[in-house]
Structure 1
Amino acid sequence: MSVLKQLQDIVGAAQVLTGEAMDPYVVDWRGRYRGQALAVVRPASTQEVADVVKVCVSNKTPIVPSGGNTSLCGGATPDDTGRAVVVCLARLNKVRAIDTDNDTMTVEAGCILQAVQEAARGADRLFPLSLAAEGSCTIGGNLATNAGGTQVLRYGNTRDLALGLEVVTAEGEIWHGLRGLRKDNTGYDLRDLFIGSEGTLGIITAATLKLYPLPVAQRTAMLALNTMEDAITVLSRARAGFGASLTGFEVMMGPVLQAVVRLFPQQRLPFEGASAQSPWFALLELSDSESAEHAQGRFEAVLGAAIEDGLVTDAAIAENIAQSKAMWHLRESIPLAEAELGKSIKHDVSIPISSIGRFVQVTNAALQKRFPGIQHIVFGHLGDGNLHYNVARAPNQTEQELLASQYDVYQLVHDSVHAHAGSISAEHGVGQLKRDELTRYKSELELKLMKQIKTALDPQGLMNPGKVLQA
């Protein structure tokens, strides 16, 4: 019996896609990678996922797990051999349980992140993972890449929000690890092996996630600043003044936000005159568990002192939810503005916060010396040291000329990241985009240990081949 017929017997013929029906599943979100597949299979249960994997293993067919297909590194795109089966988990989209006494919820991997947030809120709880693609990305993909987002400063990456997993292994067995425990020291932490592995060790089918009380009050402010160093100093003061209540601290180059309001006239900066032309902006959010008055008082004390000391040149504090959403919308529109401006060379890096100012200064200068006139698009999650350090074409340069230099740009930027004790992937994963770069920046021992883990859990090398590690 053919592989296709066996797969159809498991999930039904309508859920095994071939031909042109596969097109949305074999190209990545950025349109950078396009592959081919034998079929796209859409199972509806963990048992069906396990049965699909067993068929693939028995036929030595590569398996590419897929969720919302929002990867920025080609992590869910098959290669061009046409041998792989893409396993799309979109139909595994149930919220299985919410336990408000234990502050946990158990959800399937195909649940859209926004739906998980809404289900938690419906139970008067907060699931804090938040990122620009939350209306289309899935929890399985978030776990597979250990996604970050805007509230890592307070709540951590996705790994920090997961207590237990259900996983289909590379041999088609089901690991029932959906434990809602915050303490479990019974051996190796298998959960953390699968989280961030980008589907190269197994397929996450469900997770037990942490919930938190909804904040009593939130305060959002946008700040105008002169330098990145000033932003770092304000962050330090905000941490001291707000403690764990500081849930977000974003930083953005002035020209980046100015491009957003130029391209999307319906949006506007909450500043006028010179403040609207500031070299840098910061966006911070406080979530208070006491009262709106308490939150406002803390906000005014910390920001007032920063203004008096010349660290902040202007500040706009949101007076209502609509104004807060408008500020966050400015930040979240940066990727859309980038797309309007044309292709760019993107970097998702993390740097020790104390070194970020120096990194930006040194790297900007090195890029200008090597590629005069090149434009810098720098923004990101300053609170956890994660920058999206992107490079756009010079005014007299074509997109093709920019992309022709991308390897040299990657090497220059990543060498600088490494020199500043940073990482070349903060929250987007490795996928196929950064796979070969790992050999430059990880030690031989690290790579050896990673390959040993891969071999132990996926002995045939069928799980998402060509991602994270070289074959």
Structure 2
Amino acid sequence: MSIKTVSPEPSSLTSPIPFRSTSEGVENYRTDESRIQGRIKGVFFPRNEAEIATLLLTAQVNKTLITLRGSGTGLVAGAVAKKGYIISTERMNHIEDPKTTCEFGSKKTIMRVEPGAIIKEISDRAQGAGFFYAVNPTESSASIGGNINTDAAGSRAFKYGSTRTYIEKLRIVLMNGEVLVLQRGKHHFNDSGKLEIVCSGGQSINLTQPRYIMPEVKNSAGYYNQPTMDLIDLFIGSEGTLGVISQATLRLLPSPGPILTGLIFYDSLEEALTFIRDARETSLQNRISGKSGLDLRALEFIGRSALDFVRDKYKGIIPDETLAAIMIEQELPTKCDIDNFDQLPACRELFDLLGDKAEKSDGSWISFPGDNKHMQRILDFRHAIPESVNRKLRYEKMGTDLIAPARHLEKFVHLCSEIPEKHQVPHAIWGHISKCQLHVNLIPSDKFEYQRALLAYEDLAQAVTALGGSVAA
């Protein structure tokens, strides 16, 4: 199996590639949301594919180090350069209108975007045309290029999966300045794990799949690897190390119906975990059987350690005895009687699982379908957690993205809090518990706590991998 590269799309621009040196204000480009500081010589701002190709080829010839950057919302310093130059894709932010086509083998609605396009703007454009971009990362200000390079998932991954699921086609600029055009389903590794890329000059790049076996959970710790996999999947989640995306074709879905949103406060962690387990299993069973009933698209966990960061802001709203909060989203039929929504099978099953939590005003916030103001209040609460943590940082934060098999859910949640507590490291825990995925944020306040945080991080990694999980979901 082989694939040929193509030349970059020609540029109509004659002005030099925009560049900003260290004397022209590049402080924001030295770091990302991790707050870790890097050292750079300057930042390039390519405006099209041809300019990316020029930068990469020049860097290769001159053996210059470059680091790719999207919108800088990452939490693990992936866009922080220790030396060399930054290539920022922020000026390549064009979004085409959605269109329905059969060019990908079956009738699909697609949207072509450049790598610097922002997720919120993509979602808004899709929604305005009556469609739905299903991926919902925590940071809606993230770029689509960054989401593809990390295979971002987010709160809706329980029902809709990660970014990988919605990538139909990529244009990727390689370090030699040539372009790979990858359409899903067209180029696979053979049974021996081989694939050849033939460049325009005649030279070949021979790829051999590694032999490691991926864990059963979502995993971004290393390149994606499956037998006879599609070449496009090697680039998704590769952190920009194999090439620079210049254009992506996304698959859109029909817009869902009304959304019921809830935020449930628990004064018992075990009760919260019981609800999570039951809600997950009921949703999965209904999804597999096709039964009309509960099918949560989002099931989020916020631990006591994270709630402590927003108790002052929500004083009198978060019950004092709260040890955990659960956020849920349930789609309802497009055509349903909003006035009697509580009689729908999905709502009846949800309220049965919630028990008296569905009745107590101090134990839950339920946003009824159509109550957009209340729904936004719940979403704002969820987003206030990481924002509050970042505002109170006094030293470098260690962000994690841990995931474990769902059969170990309770054990996983407990060890995520017990290990930081054992090492006496301030922390905050929240995440996509529907996928058994948690962000354990270690928040040292000085260099001594930082050293303890390193030990806690190592213990967390060993504990999670021992469960069959991954240190990077």
Which TM class, normalised by the smaller chain length? 0.7 to 0.9
Match status 1:291 vs 2:331: no
2:462 aligned residue = 415
**2-structure distance, mates of 1:146, 1:92:** 20
**2-structure distance, mates of 1:155, 1:50:** 34
1:382 aligned residue = 433
Match status 1:85 vs 2:136: no
**1-structure distance, mates of 2:300, 2:334:** 24
**Alpha-carbon distance, 1:248 to partner:** 0.6
Match status 1:192 vs 2:243: no
More helix by share: 1
**Alpha-carbon distance, 1:244 to partner:** 8.6
TM-score by length of 1: 0.77
Q: Secondary structure at the match of 1:405?
A: helix
Q: For residues 370-449 of structure 1, what are the structure 2 equivalents within 5 Å?
A: 370-371=423-424, 374-392=425-443, 398-426=445-473
Task: Indicate if the aligned counterparts of 1:111 and 1:138 stay in contact, CA closer than 8 A.
Answer: yes
Q: For residues 348-387 of structure 1, what are the structure 2 equivalents within 5 Å?
A: 348-371=401-424, 374-387=425-438
Match status 1:35 vs 2:39: yes
Q: Note the residue ranges of structure 1 that are not aligned, 5 or more in a row.
A: 1-8, 427-471
Q: Secondary structure at the match of 1:30?
A: coil
Over 3 Å counting, the alpha-carbon distance change for 1:127 and 1:42 in structure 2 is: same
**Alpha-carbon distance, 1:113 to partner:** 1.1
**Alpha-carbon distance, 1:76 to partner:** 1.4
Over 3 Å counting, the alpha-carbon distance change for 1:312 and 1:53 in structure 2 is: farther
Among 114, 117, 127, which residue is 1:111 paired with?
117
**2-structure distance, mates of 1:158, 1:185:** 19
**Alpha-carbon distance, 1:310 to partner:** 8.8
Q: Secondary structure at the match of 2:325?
A: strand
2:243 aligned residue = 202
Amino acid at match of 1:128: A
Over 3 Å counting, the alpha-carbon distance change for 1:311 and 1:317 in structure 2 is: closer
* CA displacement 1:260-281 (0-9 Å, x = unmatched): 141366xx74x6xxx5632221
Among 365, 378, 390, which residue is 1:316 paired with?
365
**1-structure distance, mates of 2:389, 2:161:** 27
Amino acid at match of 1:139: I
Match status 1:67 vs 2:64: no
Amino acid at match of 1:43: P
**Alpha-carbon distance, 1:312 to partner:** 10
* CA displacement 1:415-470 (0-9 Å, x = unmatched): 111122111111xxxxxxxxxxxxxxxxxxxxxxxxxxxxxxxxxxxxxxxxxxxx
1:49 aligned residue = 52
Task: Indicate if the aligned counterparts of 1:238 and 1:302 stay in contact, CA closer than 8 A.
Answer: no
Match status 1:24 vs 2:68: no
Identity %: 23
Among 2, 15, 18, which residue is 2:18 paired with?
15
Task: Indicate if the aligned counterparts of 1:131 and 1:148 stay in contact, CA closer than 8 A.
Answer: yes
Q: For residues 109-188 of structure 1, what are the structure 2 equivalents within 5 Å?
A: 109-135=115-141, 137-177=142-182, 179=183, 183-184=185-186, 187=189
2:252 aligned residue = 211
Amino acid at match of 1:237: T
1:278 aligned residue = 322
**1-structure distance, mates of 2:56, 2:391:** 40
Which of 254-263 and 23-32 deviates more?
254-263
Amino acid at match of 1:306: L
Over 3 Å counting, the alpha-carbon distance change for 1:105 and 1:245 in structure 2 is: farther
**Alpha-carbon distance, 1:381 to partner:** 0.3
* CA displacement 1:81-134 (0-9 Å, x = unmatched): xxx232111111111352135211111111111111111112110112222321
Q: Secondary structure at the match of 1:415?
A: helix
Which of 183-192 and 126-135 deviates more?
183-192
TM-score by length of 2: 0.77
Over 3 Å counting, the alpha-carbon distance change for 1:46 and 1:289 in structure 2 is: farther
**Alpha-carbon distance, 1:245 to partner:** 4.3
Measured on the aligned residues, the alpha-carbon RMSD in Å equals 2.8
Task: Indicate if the aligned counterparts of 2:36 and 2:80 stay in contact, CA closer than 8 A.
Answer: no
**2-structure distance, mates of 1:423, 1:355:** 13
Task: Indicate if the aligned counterparts of 1:28 and 1:34 stay in contact, CA closer than 8 A.
Answer: no
Q: Secondary structure at the match of 2:168?
A: strand
Count of equivalent residues: 398
Over 3 Å counting, the alpha-carbon distance change for 1:380 and 1:118 in structure 2 is: same
Q: Secondary structure at the match of 1:144?
A: helix
Task: Indicate if the aligned counterparts of 2:295 and 2:346 stay in contact, CA closer than 8 A.
Answer: no
**Alpha-carbon distance, 1:377 to partner:** 1.9
Task: Indicate if the aligned counterparts of 1:221 and 1:316 stay in contact, CA closer than 8 A.
Answer: yes
Over 3 Å counting, the alpha-carbon distance change for 1:402 and 1:298 in structure 2 is: farther
1:337 aligned residue = 388
Task: Indicate if the aligned counterparts of 2:172 and 2:243 stay in contact, CA closer than 8 A.
Answer: yes
Amino acid at match of 1:236: E
Over 3 Å counting, the alpha-carbon distance change for 1:68 and 1:156 in structure 2 is: same
Amino acid at match of 1:111: A
